[in-house]
Amino acid sequence: KAGVTQTPRYLIKTRGQQVTLSCSPISGHRSVSWYQQTPGQGLQFLFEYFSETQRNKGNFPGRFSGRQFSNSRSEMNVSTLELGDSALYLCASSRGQAGGGYTFGSGTRLTVV
C-alpha cells in the first residue's frame, strides 16, 4: 500500500512569504500529525488533526496553522516566514487510536533565505 506522501520535497522561500505543505496519509488513516525538525531543537510536535479537527497543538506561534480535508489529506501553512523556520517538516499518519502506530513521510525541507 502507498506510504505517507509529502509534497513538495524541497522548497526555497524568502523571508516574509508564506508556504503551504501537503501530506497525504496512508489510506484508512484518519490522523495526521506534523513535526518540525531543526538541528538546534530536534523534532518538535506542531499539531495533530483527526477527522478534520485539530486535536492537539504544540508550542508554536500562530503563524503556523494547518487543516485537514474530508479525505484525510492535510496541509500546513506558515505565514510571514522567518529565517528560523528553515527546517525539515515531517508528517505522520495513524489510525488515531491510543497506542496506534505511526507512519512517517519523507518530509519537506524548507529553506528560508
Which residues lie near another protein (CB under 8 A)? 33, 35, 37, 42-45, 48, 50, 55-56, 58, 88, 90, 92, 98-99, 101-107, 109
Distance CA 108, CA 90 (A): 7
Least distance (Å) from another protein to the CB of residue 60?
A: 12
Nearer to another protein, 60 or 79 (CB): 60
Instruction: Provide DSSP, 35-102.
Output: EEEETTTEEEEEEEEETTEEEEE-S--TTEEEEE-TTS-EEEEE-S--GGG-EEEEEEEE---TT---
Q: How many residues does the structure list for the chain?
A: 113
Cell of 38: 531543526
Least distance (Å) from another protein to the CB of residue 94?
A: 9
The enclosing H or E element of 10 equals strand 10-13
Nearer to another protein, 28 or 42 (CB): 42
Least distance (Å) from another protein to the CB of residue 101?
A: 5
Nearer to another protein, 80 or 111 (CB): 111
Nearer to another protein, 16 or 43 (CB): 43
